[in-house]
Amino acid sequence: MSRKPFIAGNWKLNNTIAEAEELIQALLPRVGAVEDVDVVVAPSYLSLAAVVDSARGSAVQVYAQNMHEKDSGAFTGEVSAPMLTEIDVHGVILGHSERRQFFGETDRALQLKVPRALEAGLIPILCVGETEEEREQGDTERRLRHQVQEGLEKVPVERLHEVVVAYEPVWAIGTGLSATAEQAQETCGFVRALVQGFDKEAGNAVRVLYGGSLKPENAAEILSQPDIDGALVGGASLDAESFAAIVEAARG
């Protein structure tokens, strides 16, 4: 089963519109014509429209960092799928551990967000991962099983393969402490098996990403693992040179 590599840069709460513009302009000459890897950047909501416009006509896709499950209503501070598709956003990161940890994101809401994104024409990246404490207590598989099963439960089986699942151990995010290639492979393989539990073919086709302190120095080893199809990159995605080097590593 050949799966197209997928490298996504999560810019988080960084970059004003002017700075986002500067970063995409630095990225386009480096990765704008890459066709054999899905290259994604996820700026803040305010920069989305500007970055979409700058990336138009290139191979770079632009994703949001979150989305509400409802299309409209009394949900102050939220942004919906139709608002994202209106400005030609391609997809959305859902369930990032920082959303879960700091903003009360729940598996129950994700159960609605993931299928809503697909229905609206957005590719969802469903983020899952265990905390350091859960890993130490041998709870990693139980935690991942719960997150994957809840997150994908309401996705129609024929669309499951379109979801991208990012395995991001919470203890590796922004800490400089990446999982080893062996740990990342073992856990991404487990995540794939969970998707295969819904549907064997979808599990074979789904892209599983690793995320957590990925840098140009450790990218090649991690990305060469059989069940790892790409990466969700935080810190290193803010530097055009580093992000381009990770995209290059994904080309094999």
Please give the residue ranges that form the binding site for ligand PEP (CB under 6 A).
Answer: 10, 168, 173-174, 211-214, 232-236
**DSSP at 177:** -
Name the region of 109 (left: φ>0; alpha: ψ -120 to 50; beta: rest): alpha
Rounded least distance, CB 70 to ligand PEP, Å: 25
Beta-carbon contacts of 102 under 8 Å, excluding residues fewer than 6 positions away, are none
CB 54 within 8 A of CB 20: no
CA distance 135 to 219: 23
Rounded least distance, CB 121 to ligand PEP, Å: 23
Candidates 68, 96, 105, 134; catalytic one: 96
Catalytic residue list contains 168: yes
Rounded least distance, CB 19 to ligand PEP, Å: 17
Q: Which residue's CB is nearer to ligand PEP, number 107 or number 199?
A: 107
Query: Which H/E stretch holds residue 166?
Result: strand 164-167
Rounded least distance, CB 106 to ligand PEP, Å: 19
Q: Which residue's CB is nearer to ligand PEP, number 10 or number 15?
A: 10
CB 233 within 8 A of CB 8: yes
Residue nearest to ligand PEP (CB): 234
Catalytic residue list contains 90: no
- What letters, b where the CB count within 10 A reaches 16 and e where it falls short, cover 25-51? eebbebbbebeebbbbbbbbeebbbbb
Active site residues: 96, 168
